[in-house]
Amino acid sequence: MRLITLKDGMRPAALVASPDGDRVIDLSGVAESVVRILGDASAADAARAAIEAADPSTLPLRSEVTLAPPVTPGTIFAIGYNYRGHTAADPDAVVADPAHPDVFVKTANALRGADEAVVLPLQSEDVDYEGEIALVIGTAGRDIDPADALGHVGGYTLLNDVSARDWQNRTSQWTLGKNFDGFAPLGPAVVTPDEISNPADLVVEVERDGEITVSQSTSTLIFPFAELIAYLSQAVTLMPGDVISTGTPQKLTSALATHRPLAHGDAVTIRVAGIGELTTRFVDPHKTPAP
């Protein structure tokens, strides 16, 4: 299933593939939220039954609705430097694998849905993007065994870890640079695990205004998904709906060489086969929004 939340009333729904484009089936009669469907087997079965019984020709097209974030997490955990190949500030330095995951959080004010533009803050001169696979917890857990960890995943989605690099680099703590309003676009859908045959072999691709700037497989993760879940759960009880954004690959050499801060009208698309595409548009608050 590909589960979404409709901004109108924050209702759970699903995307159903059809020849003329994705169509939307309202699941509010099945469960009160996407998180409930992800974490409750009976709700998930009822959702699947409703999808199978629906007539796609009677359903609205995806373009006819507005999406909220697919889930509203209690916590968004984010991971830094989790793909091999990240460059160091010193180009001659060798980047060793960290001993432990580099964990920070994205705050509630940063969360945005797939259909919302991100307003570029006037206070920053270097806003950047990071395309990431995000795990949505379906079943609560503490001190989770790595062998059991993927069983706690309710689904997979995408997150753009938007970052104000100038603010991020002011101190050793990244909090403010990572958490301007709107700096965590999430979605558009949560894809249930049965749709993902091998989470250890997913290619994260990012496109900025028509140019591929990132392309790297989860096979190169330093800390695979199960290890991240197990590690976080040693300190925190992971709750249904919590999100773990698993890190961004290094940008391609050509993209690094031509880096420029995000500007009004820019569009960034994160693409992972099986999970979908998240496109975020960036706007200057003093200019007319891009079409």
- CATH number, position 174: 3.90.850.10
pLDDT recorded at residue 285: 87
Same domain, 42 and 101: no
Distance CA 99, CA 25 (A): 45
pLDDT score recorded for residue 286: 83
Domain co-membership, 11 together with 150: no
Find, among 185, 45, 56, the residue nearest to 113 by Cα: 185
User: Does 290 map to a domain?
Assistant: no
Q: Are residues 177 and 264 in the same domain?
A: yes
Residue at 162 is within a domain: yes
Q: Find the mean pLDDT for residues 171-184.
A: 96
Percentage of the chain beyond pLDDT 70 is 95
pLDDT of 9-44, one tens digit each? 999 999 999 999 999 999 999 999 999 999 999 999
Quote the pTM value: 0.95
Arithmetic mean of pLDDT, 246-252: 95
Q: Could you say which of 11, 33, 67 is where a domain stops?
A: 67
Residue whose token pair is 């849905």: 113
- Strand 111-112 versus strand 184-191 pairing type: parallel
- Residue 289 counted as domain residue: no
Tell me: do 129 and 77 sit in the same domain. yes
Cα–Cα nearest to 141, from 127, 151, 129, 155: 151
Per-residue model confidence as pLDDT tens digits over 178-204: 999 999 999 999 999 999 999 999 999
**Residues 40, 108 share a domain:** no
Please, what is the average pLDDT of the chain? 94
Mean of pLDDT values over 159-178 = 96
Give me the number of domains the chain comprises.
2
Query: Which residues form the domain of 106?
Result: 69-283
Question: Does residue 34 belong to any structural domain of this protein?
Answer: yes
Q: In angstroms, rounded to a whole number, what is the distance separating the alpha carbons of residues 221 and 231? A: 15
The helix (run of H) or strand (run of E) holding residue 79 is: strand 76-80
Reported as a pLDDT band with limits 50, 70 and 90, residue 156 is: very high
Same domain, 60 and 79: no
